[in-house]
Structure 1
Amino acid sequence: MDEALRLLQFGDSVFPVGAFSFSNGLEMAVQHGSVHDRATLQEYVRTVTRLAATGDGVALLAGHRAAAAGDLDRVRRADEAVHLRKINEEMRTMSVRMGRKLAEAATRIVGESLLRKRVGDTGAGVPVTYPVALGVLFAELGVGEEQAFAAHQYGAASMVLGAAIRLMRVDHLDAQSILFAVNEHVADDYQDARTATLDDMQGFAPHLDVLAGAHQHAHVRMFMS
């Protein structure tokens, strides 16, 4: 039961890491008309979660396994893999800011941990990133890697849907219906990610990269990404 409670607490979409400040690219997708109704929103959320699985999700699993082995250097390499693959400045900012907030909160709540050591290790030039920090934290709390992966995927979808309620004509029930449908893919995404290495991380979505680049230079923005 303790593991389930830890998963619920630190995987909660309202846990104070600043996720509400980001839309994961949805704001510009709505402005450009790429996302304009429930169907296109669901397609967008599924794209985001699939990219999360093949990219950040792989790093989360690497961080989880490194923490289980007590290997700080492997944790650092996972963070570096995430950071180097964030082509857009806003996405790098999102990953690093949320990672730092999670590490700071976990240090205050949990206390001494490998994650705390990793925070003190950032002088090496590699920032803490959110997916890796989440993987490390869950490993140290005794939460299994499959559950940690599921929490990460749930959070990626929730971030976009939370933004959608503020950006589009969708209500909370629409968002929950989409979340329910998208969550059906998590088990399959985990099976794909669990055997991947950091070298296998990928996130090919040129349309989203173009939208993210446009958002970076927009004069009026509700979200930071």
Structure 2
Amino acid sequence: MLFDRLQALALLQLGDSAYPAGGFAFSWGLEGLAADGMLSNRNELDRIIADQLARRWATMERVLLRKAFHAAGCDAIAAVDRLAEAGTPSAEMREGSRRAGRALLGVWVKLDGPLSVAYRTLVSSDARLGHLPVAQAVVGRDANFNLDAAELVSGWTLVTGLVGAAVRLGIIGHVEAQRSQSAARGLLAELLAETPPADASPASFTPFIDIAVSRGPLRDVRMFTT
């Protein structure tokens, strides 16, 4: 198979932690876990990243992304979006997913992505729409990614977001961050090598993370939205 340089460069662009989609505002539970004394070093971080990838991203967000990627038209994409809303029990996680997804869509609206523009109109009329994995599928289609590429950038964005949050929280340094990313890279590759069944239903089981995110509004000081 020929190496697609343009797509590889596009993957680097969208997977960059500096991509202006507001990813720096989300720790996806790391801040809460650290505040509760459940996250204080790289070994614990690596376990949490592995948990997020295997028990949430691979079984829920990836499934939603795949459904939205194959959906024919905005109404069908919105049906997947509502599935994401119904399948996320934590109000804070729902809000965080929608905020992150809408921010990503907003970037591609400014870049004149045709599907992003069309879907953003629908999202603007329904507060339940705009979840991150659905937005990633829409953006991936506008970027002319194939499904494999869209899945790859989705999983890697989660990894870099978690590692970046850990650095900002002072849990690890920049060299340790590279070790965490290397470990996560191997797991992500393993997960991507297995294709979910076409009829897979999105499901996740990350109770400690969900509780940590849900406790966020009770904390006096917060750095991150989730």
TM-score over 0.5 for the pair: yes
1:74-94, Cα deviation, whole Å (9 max, x unpaired): 211111111222222221122
Structure 1 residue matching 2:204: 3-state secondary structure: coil
Residue ranges of structure 2 left out of the alignment (5+ in a row): none
Write out aligned runs for 1:80-159 (5 A): 80-109=82-111, 111-122=112-123, 123-124=125-126, 126-159=128-161
Q: Which residue of 2 aligns with 1:56?
A: 61
CA–CA distance in structure 2, aligned partners of residues 193 and 16 of structure 1: 30
Distance verdict in 2 for CA 1:207–1:196, change over 3 Å? farther
Residue ranges of structure 1 left out of the alignment (5+ in a row): none
- Contact 1:29 1:211 survives alignment (8 Å): yes
Q: Which residue of 1 aligns with 2:206?
A: 205
In the alignment of these two chains, the number of paired residues is 220
Distance verdict in 2 for CA 1:124–1:212, change over 3 Å? closer
Q: Which residue of 1 aligns with 2:12?
A: 8
Letter in 2 for 1:132: V
Q: Which moved more, 1:75-84 or 1:39-48?
A: 75-84
Choose the corresponding residue for 2:43, options 36, 39, 44: 39
1:143-198, Cα deviation, whole Å (9 max, x unpaired): 1111211111111111111111122341111111111111112233234453254x
TM-score (norm. length: structure 1): 0.90
CA RMSD of aligned residues (A): 1.8
- Contact 1:4 1:143 survives alignment (8 Å): no
Give the drift of 1:31: 1.4
CA–CA distance in structure 2, aligned partners of residues 145 and 99 of structure 1: 18
Give the drift of 1:112: 4.8
TM-score (norm. length: structure 2): 0.89
Distance verdict in 2 for CA 1:72–1:34, change over 3 Å? same
Structure 2 residue matching 1:35: 3-state secondary structure: coil
